[in-house]
Structure formats: structure tokens, C-alpha cells
Amino acid sequence: MSESLFDSGNGSASGNGDAAAIRPGAGGSGAEPRPALSELADGQDFSGAFVVRERELRQKKNGDDFLKLTLGDRTGSVPAIAWDRVAESFAACAPGTIVVITGRFSVHPQFGRQVKLGTARPAESHEYEEGELTEGPSRPIAQLESELRDLLETIQNDSLRALLDRLFGPETAAWKRFREAPAAKHYHEAYAGGLLEHTLSVAQATSAAANFFGGIDREVAVTGALLHDIGKTEAYNDDPLAIEMTDAGRLQSEIPLGYYRVRREIESIEGFDPDLAQAVLHVILSHHGQLEHGSPVVPCTREATLVHAMDNLGGKLGSFNRLEKHLADGEAWSRFDRGIESAAFFGRRAA
């Protein structure tokens, strides 16, 4: 199908026509299984219970309202548009709620995967399993935590260990929040536990790579990698069904939040070497790599350069993982992805 859900025409009742062809209801005893978002086919009419991750009321050029949603389940998320029944759908689709929707799925050559919404209503408890609607790490949280603690044991510097103990100690409030926090609102590791999964992968990669390049202080680099995204614990909320930025995240952003969080801890540790503090804090401030990507400064040390490289690599490879999940059988090329600034090629899979 080439029609885009963003092409509303004159606001005709095409959505009503779509909905009429769709089975009512979802889940529950005797109902057909809910389709996974990642398995929907171009042109498929479907119904099911999904979580609302975002909701935004917009206006067409003629002044009429339309509704843009992001619907999700454990396999991913997809944008949805309601041209009709806008007020009714808006009332039913608060972020973080679970709704039963009817709609038509399509893959647009420019806009990618999308749903034209037919109807929406609040889901009843028997119509869904919450575990089917929430994404999560590919490995158990307990395993990720165990590996992180193994990595912490390799840090021998007393000051760095004291700093990490304050932020990752098993009984600290900081660790409990870090363990459950998302790594993003969109794209990589945008789910509860995502920050732990992402941080561990960057820190492990940094630890391994530090052995192959001269002049790198591995302990500074690994400490910086473990702390580089800690500001996200304050920048994002704690609702696994509808990840949003907090007021602090919007007003201050994650890097300054992380910098001041770590700096406050450093200043409370007696005898912390100022040069060591500067080295760790520089990693946090520069890990996005470029000023236009939100870093107040660019990497100016070996350790900061290494952490940025590992963080950037993890994000790009994560794009391939995300894109591959949505390929149809036999497809070699994905849609365009902002993370890699290209489409991704999966020729071996297509063969």
C-alpha cells in the first residue's frame, strides 16, 4: 500500500470504512490471539489490546483536529493516526493506558510502518496480559546486575570504588532507580531495565577495548562508561508503559543532570583527587561526541574518546537489531533509519 496515514485528504470517513472490515474485540476467552506489532503485514486489518506510549492532538490545514498515537507491545511500537472519532479516541487513549483498537496496518515507502486507527476503547483486565505489552532486556535483569558487579570488582582505585559504591551499592536508592530506568524514550533500550542493559554493554566494550590501545587509564574509562548515562535516572519517568521525559529532563537534559549528580558525590568523598574527578566528569560531559548532539564539550581525552566510540557503536548496532525485527520474509533492505542515517542491508537473511 502506498497511502500514508499522514495524508488525510479532506478528512473523509475512510477510517470508518476501514473499521467496518475489522473484527470487534480482542483478547479474552474465545477471542483470536492478539497480533504482535512486529508481525503485522502490509494492508492487514486487525484488532487487539495495546499500550498507548504517546498521545498528541494535532490540527489539519483546515483546522480540524486529528490524533497521533504511538502504540506498543513487547515487540516494539508503531505510530497510529485517528482522522475520525478524534475526541472519543483521545479520551480513551491516555499515555500509559491499555486500549483495544481496531485499525489497518500499512508500510509506507516514505513514512514506514503505520496504523490508520478505526476505533479505540479502554481494555478490560481479561483482554490482555501485561507481559505481552512491555518490552524488556534480552537477558534477565539479575544476570545483567551480576555482570555489572563483576565489572565493578575490577576497579581498584579507592576513590573510584567509593564513588561507584555510592551510586551502584545494592541497597542504595540510586541503584534501585538505575536498575529499573529506561535508556531512552525511543530507539535503543527504550524500556524498563534498558539503562542497565545499555550501560553494561558500553562499559564491557570499553573495558575490553582499553587493553588494545596505549595510554588509556582503563579504570577511568570504565568508571566513565558506567556513569555516562546516569542522568537518565532523573531525565525519564518510571512508567514502563509510557516513557516520558520529566520536567528536569526537558529543562536541563540528561548530560547536565548526570554531571551534577556525579560531581555532588565526588565532592562528598574526602580526599578525592581533583585530576581524577576531572577525568571522570569529562567523560560524562562529552560522551555524545559532538556539540550538535548535546555534548557541552567534545571528547578531549583518550578515555572520553573511547567511551564515546563504544556508546556510538552500541547505538548504531542497536539500529540494525531493531530494523531486522521488522523485515518481511525475503526482504534485503530495511526502511531508512535515523540512527544509521541509511537503510540497513540484510542480504544473507534475504537469501
pLDDT at 260: 97
Domains and CATH numbers, the chain: 14-132 (2.40.50.140), 141-320 (1.10.3210)
The alpha helices in the chain, defined as continuous H runs, are 14-20, 86-92, 141-152, 158-168, 173-180, 194-210, 218-227, 232-235, 247-252, 254-267, 274-286, 302-325, 347-350
pLDDT band at 23 (very low <50, low <70, confident <90, very high): very low
**CA–CA separation, 144 and 345 (whole Å):** 30
41-83 pLDDT per residue, tens: 889 999 999 988 889 999 988 889 999 998 988 887 889 999 9
pLDDT band at 292 (very low <50, low <70, confident <90, very high): confident
Average pLDDT over residues 158-173: 97
Sign of the alpha-carbon torsion through 188, 191, 195, 196: negative
88-122 pLDDT per residue, tens: 999 999 888 899 999 999 988 777 789 999 999 99
- The per-residue pLDDT of the chain, averaged, comes to 85
Kindly provide the b/e burial profile for residues 290-310, where b requires at least 16 CB atoms within 10 angstroms of the residue's own CB: eeeeebeeebebbbbbbbbbb
pLDDT at 331: 79
Cα dihedral value 239, 240, 242, 246, nearest 10: 40
pLDDT above 70 for 3: no
pLDDT above 70 for 22: no
pLDDT above 80 for 339: no
pLDDT at 269: 97
Cα dihedral value 10, 13, 15, 21, nearest 10: -150
Average pLDDT over residues 333-347: 82
Task: Specify the higher pLDDT residue, 153 or 182.
Answer: 153
Sign of the alpha-carbon torsion through 252, 255, 258, 262: negative
Proportion of the chain above pLDDT 70, given as a percent: 88
Average pLDDT over residues 272-281: 98
pLDDT band at 17 (very low <50, low <70, confident <90, very high): very low
pLDDT at 301: 98
166-222 pLDDT per residue, tens: 999 999 999 999 999 988 876 667 788 899 999 999 999 999 999 999 999 999 999
pLDDT above 60 for 9: no
pLDDT band at 326 (very low <50, low <70, confident <90, very high): low
264-274 pLDDT per residue, tens: 999 999 999 99
